[in-house]
Amino acid sequence: MSKEINIGIIGYKFMGKAHSSAFTQLPIYFGEDMKVNKKIICGRNEDKVKRAASQFGWEEYATDYRELIKRDDINVIDVTTPSNYHKQIVMEAIDAGKNVFCEKPLALNVQDAREMHEAAAKKGIKHQIGFNYRFVPAIRLAKQLIDEGRLGKVYHFRARYLQDWATSPDFPLTWRFDKKVCGSGSSGDLGAHVIDLAHFLVGDLKVVTGINETFIKQRPIIEGEGGLSAKAEKGAPLGEVLIDDATIFCGQFECGALASFEMTRYAAGNKNGMGFEINGDKGSVKFFFERMNELMYCDYTQDGLTQGFTRIQTTDYMHSYAKYYYPAGHVIGYADTFTCEMYEFIKAIKENDQAAPGFEAGVKAAQVIDAVDLSIANRAWVNVAEV
């Protein structure tokens, strides 16, 4: 696996920082052969991207993403921009024959996501989408238990993704409230992750129906895009919020299991409250990201005296990725999920294999999100396969 990897990253904020850190950490945890060259970082604000290049350890910076794409020495493009730029950048990178990593959601709608996946497949480049929660060792263990039949026939999947950063009406109208930029609110931003985990762990969703709400209809306008800690000046003019603040939907999988999902940015006290529970006829698992190194497992085949949930600490050498990190009990964190996903992406490029999750996973998530939106608009059940 000696192929040299030269990366150009587009975006330098939340995900740009996370990905930059992951590329730096790769050889530390996964060996010298995983070393990559952090060639160039791109952003529209020259002062800020210049500082980011220095802080994150990139050799160069640029303000025009096309500079990255046209360079012969760049063979990987990493897209961490706001969602409305994903399709444009990714399609140009594919056309230039670059391998592409793209943050979620893949696109603003399922039609665009399909075009991106089809273009990548036709060109034969390696592609991966940023569903980093798939790389949490506890979630990998849940997948293993399900695949081994230890939960038996799955009856229920219930998921939640709760945050509270938007609760105050004083929080400004950042790009995450602009439908033209983000496509959707809680359903796409938070829901994409748990929808993907549902697909990863249980299988494809068959039908869905949902409800959503925008609790605060207007917010203060600020200049620039802003982040999760943005602030508006006192007395700033107000703008309309055109996306959902919270979405709840239920559905059924192709395998017959039932599903429920709740996503909101208005759950006070929840900073990143992602979790799920899966119930089968032989057992159950529970996971809560704020205790990401633990999986709760109930073996329902045990007798009543010992039956119940057991807390498994997923930090020992036999758990996914744990052997690359620290001794048992020395936990990993959020940033490590990005290192693990980048390990799989870079390894796939070096071994000339297709990475997972590829763009097809982004298409499936977008398909469910669009199906939920359609169900809300029509107040009806929607068959996911027909969207």
Closest CA to 133 of 289, 355, 240, 328: 289
Give the span between the Cα atoms of 206 and 266, in whole angstroms: 28
Alpha helices in the chain (DSSP H): 14-30, 46-56, 65-70, 86-95, 110-123, 137-147, 179-182, 186-189, 191-201, 334-350, 359-378
305 in the same domain as 171: yes
Residue 225 has pLDDT above 90, yes or no: no
88 occurs within a structural domain? yes
Question: Does the structure show a pLDDT above 90 at 228?
Answer: no
- For residue 34, being part of any structural domain is answered with yes
pLDDT, average across residues 232-246? 89
| Per-residue confidence band for 224, with pLDDT thresholds at 50, 70 and 90 | low
pLDDT at 273: 97
Q: Please state the rounded mean pLDDT for residues 269-278.
A: 97
Let me know: does 247 contact 145? Beta carbons within 8 Å: no
Do 250 and 259 contact (CB within 8 A), yes or no? yes
Contact present, 126 and 250 (Cβ < 8 Å): no
Written in H, E and C, the secondary structure of 124-176 is: CCCEEEECHHHHCHHHHHHHHHHHCCCCCCEEEEEEEEECCCCCCCCCCCCHH
Residue 142 main-chain phi, psi, to 5 deg? -60, -45
pLDDT of residue 227: 67
- Beta bridge partners of residue 205, listed in sequence order: 253
Answer whether residue 2 shows pLDDT above 60. Answer: no
| Helix (H) or strand (E) segment spanning residue 92 | helix 86-95
Given a cut of 60, whether residue 201 has pLDDT beyond it is yes
**Domain's final residue, options 103, 133, 163:** 133
Paired residues of 103 in beta bridges: 130
Does one domain contain both 68 and 204?
A: no
Chain segment 170-185, per-residue pLDDT in tens:
999 887 888 887 778 8
- State in Å, rounded, how far the first CA of the chain is from the last one: 40
Domain count within the chain = 2
Average pLDDT over residues 39-63: 98
**Does residue 340 sit within a domain?**
no
CATH number at residue 234: 3.30.360.10
| Tokens standing for residue 292 | 């990401």
pLDDT digits (tens, 9 = 90+) for 348-372: 999 999 999 999 999 999 999 999 9
Print burial letters for 114-127: b (CB count within 10 Å at least 16), e (below 16). Answer: bebbebbeebebbb
Cα separation, 287 vs 167, in Å, equals 25
Alpha carbon 150 to its chain centroid, in Å, reads: 27
Answer whether 215's CB lies under 8 Å from 116's CB.
no
Strand ranges, E, within 267-334: 273-280, 283-288, 294-299, 309-313
Mean pLDDT of 240-261: 96
Using DSSP's 3-state secondary structure scheme, residue 120 falls into helix
* pLDDT score at 175: 79
| 160 and 193 assigned to the same domain | yes
In a domain, 158, yes or no: yes
Domain residues for the domain of 63 are 6-133
Tokens linked to 34: 């995983």
What's the rounded Cα separation, in Å, for the pair 86 and 80?
Answer: 8
Q: Is residue 385 part of a domain?
A: no
Predicted local distance difference test score (pLDDT) of residue 179: 81
156 lies in some domain: yes
Assign 124 a pLDDT band (cuts: 50, 70, 90): very high
11 and 30 share one domain = yes
pLDDT score of 184: 80
Asked whether residue 350 is assigned to any structural domain, the reply reads no
In angstroms, rounded to a whole number, what is the distance separating the alpha carbons of residues 346 and 87? 22
Q: Identify the pLDDT of residue 245.
A: 94
Confidence check: pLDDT of 378 > 70: yes
With vertex at residue 131, the alpha carbon angle to CA 201 and CA 272, rounded to the nearest 5 degrees, is: 90
Q: What is the mean pLDDT of residues 277-286?
A: 98
Distance between alpha carbon 213 and the CA centroid of its chain, in Å? 23
3-state secondary structure of 368: helix
